[in-house]
Amino acid sequence: MQNTLKLIASNAYSTGATGLNVINLANDADPRTLALAGVDRIELNFPKFTDGRAFSQAFLLRRRLGFKGEIHATGDVLIDQLLQMQRSGFDAAVLRADQDIKQAQRQLDRFSGFYQGDAQRAPLFAAATGVSASVKNTEGVAA
């Protein structure tokens, strides 16, 4: 799998003025209510890493709404959820302070493929039957 997720150490993440148009979206909010024009970055929060609502938010932003800006994961972000974040449409993750960024990268390299489609790819069965495996409207995924 191609790695696209940017890893950011907790102490390297600036929450101050960046000059960017950033939206911090609560994890019970519906991303479909947002005006996305001119938005550079949307931060989706994990209050607990076991609260999976932000995965759906990221998927809707990236896949349904075709959002081309950055989607950052913040909050209780553990290295063992990075792969899910990448596949749901996040392009950056700000790790919880105690997480070891050196261990993080290899968590993204574990699987050579997945069954179901996600924000990045079509399902395995679509690839197997000759349909292009890349999802057309996700070119906005930042490298």
Q: List contacts with another protein (CB under 8 A).
A: 28, 30, 49-53, 55-56, 59, 63-64, 78, 80, 83-85, 87-88, 100, 103, 106-107, 110-118, 122-126, 128-129, 135-136
Name which of 71 and 83 has its Cβ closer to another protein.
83
The CB-of-13 to another protein minimum distance in angstroms stands at 20
Name which of 72 and 87 has its Cβ closer to another protein.
87
Q: How far is Cα 85 from Cα 90, in angstroms, rounded to an integer?
A: 5
The CB-of-112 to another protein minimum distance in angstroms stands at 6
What Rg, from alpha-carbon coordinates, does the chain have? 15
Name which of 39 and 135 has its Cβ closer to another protein.
135
Proportion of the chain in helix, strand, coil states, percent, rounded to 5: 30, 15, 55
The CB-of-4 to another protein minimum distance in angstroms stands at 13
DSSP for 49-87, written as a single string: TT-THHHHHHHIIIIIS---SEEEEEES--GGGHHHHHH
Q: How far is Cα 114 from Cα 121, in angstroms, rounded to an integer?
A: 9
Name which of 18 and 105 has its Cβ closer to another protein.
105
The CB-of-132 to another protein minimum distance in angstroms stands at 12
Question: How does DSSP classify residue 117?
Answer: -
